[in-house]
Structure 1
């Protein structure tokens, strides 16, 4: 009975966090919808950006329930990718007078999603499980929060691009857009290179139980995250010239990705896991001393 009483506040807190995440998603969608295009849903004029936020959340909540009942995380990353694709295609289908900027932004999101989504899905199929979920999926409220946060991640990450596509302002691509495209390409190449090199490293039986220190990983301990942060800043630069008023709130997209990967779920978790696994090894301590945490730089010393 005591344990159940202790669990109740935790469940309440976790459901509250889910509500806050959904509300924050709605606020960003509302801000980005100002002066934006609408579409008709069930006879009502609905801002396209609000529809996108509802789709991002709805898909994740829909897949959450069977995943919880089956106690599996196998479709978590796949659902995130499906959400990105569905939201992006929705904007393309319902936004009138698409221009080059809008189609470019949509193409960049879709290319990134297909590449990363397939990589993550194949990885979990090969590994058989994602140990991060071992203590999460048995608890309904905790697992629900995880899926809600993925809906938040999908929408907020793509919000600047979606606002630019749907807001109705049409301007030719200028220098800032081309700079943004160049930044996106650099980020995408870094992320792809890091993932390929790590996959090849882990595929070698001689490296079982070891950490990678070669290739781009000799310049950064988390180059894939740096690449992802970089490419979303590129997307924001492409979107920026056609944003106005409250739509500037959607520029939180790359900042959100940066905070998420460097302060919450990315670098801190992996650094803690690596320290626990190899922290007593002199080779690992030397690697940490000479290698940048995030931004690729020549090794120190």
Structure 2
């Protein structure tokens, strides 16, 4: 995150931190697998690398040629490093570094101890697959929507997974980390699971209420038709579409 902050300051764009977010966890998982090599650590490293690598690539491709992300403008009161170095480092880079350290606890614990319940590992992998599905498909549907001319598309995307939840990619992100907690810490036993459950809970809280869905909706709510969309489609947890 320190390196990313230096790059961000150079290009005067705080949103580059989003590209580094997935990469941070890839680095953590790979180091753990190298230092404590066993099939469990490498399985988790593969899952984290697939998720984090895809996320970093997707965000880098999507943000190419764009200005500052409205979420960070809202958070900092202006584009780029407008709020000053101390504020940006504390609110964005420092916060995300701390959160990444906390969220990685189930991976660290999983690397240090032996698996007790292998079936739970595969349950966690299944939950991870659901999360990746929501992220990949949701992002693809959003990209297809944005590729259409503005006069030929509705003001709000409300089809596909976007008719089930207003933020399928954020919901998928939460599922990924609950899956990694199941496959990682909880598979070791009840005590490691209970001692690390704060990690996926914190991730879910942040992407739903702090840096993700709620912050994005402050901008999205200005679109025509948004109020009607928000009234019938849930914010986070999906449910079947309804009129």
TM-score of the pair, normalised by structure 2: 0.86
Q: What displacement does 1:272 show?
A: 1.7
The answer to whether the Cα contact below 8 Å between 2:19 and 2:56 also exists between their aligned partners in 1 is yes
Q: Which residue of 2 aligns with 1:8?
A: none
The answer to whether the Cα contact below 8 Å between 2:70 and 2:219 also exists between their aligned partners in 1 is no
Q: What displacement does 1:141 show?
A: 1.2
Q: SS state of the match for residue 242, structure 2? A: coil
Q: Which residue of 1 aligns with 2:171?
A: 226
CA distance 1:164–1:257, change in 2 (3 Å): same
Per-residue CA deviation, residues 34-62 of structure 1 (Å, 9 max, x unaligned), is xxxxxxxxxxxxxxxxxxxxxxxxxx123
CA distance 1:118–1:190, change in 2 (3 Å): same
CA distance in 1, matches of 2:68, 2:130: 31
Q: SS state of the match for residue 137, structure 1? A: coil
Q: What displacement does 1:83 show?
A: 2.0
Q: What displacement does 1:67 show?
A: 2.6
1:1-301, aligned counterparts within 5 Å?
60-73=1-14, 75-95=16-36, 98-134=37-73, 135=78, 137-138=81-82, 139-145=84-90, 146-165=92-111, 167=112, 169-171=113-115, 174-206=118-150, 210-239=155-184, 240-242=186-188, 248-275=194-221, 277-278=222-223, 281=224, 283-301=225-243
CA distance in 1, matches of 2:206, 2:144: 27
The answer to whether the Cα contact below 8 Å between 1:220 and 1:293 also exists between their aligned partners in 2 is yes
Looking at CA atoms only, which structure, 1 or 2, has the larger radius of gyration? 1
Instruction: Show structure 1 runs of 5+ residues with no match.
Output: 1-59
The answer to whether the Cα contact below 8 Å between 1:192 and 1:224 also exists between their aligned partners in 2 is yes
Q: SS state of the match for residue 296, structure 1? A: coil
Instruction: Show structure 2 runs of 5+ residues with no match.
Output: none
Q: How many residues align?
A: 234
Per-residue CA deviation, residues 85-117 of structure 1 (Å, 9 max, x unaligned), is 22222112222xx22221111111111001111
The answer to whether the Cα contact below 8 Å between 1:163 and 1:243 also exists between their aligned partners in 2 is no
CA distance in 2, matches of 1:80, 1:264: 15
CA distance in 1, matches of 2:19, 2:65: 14
Q: What displacement does 1:252 show?
A: 1.5
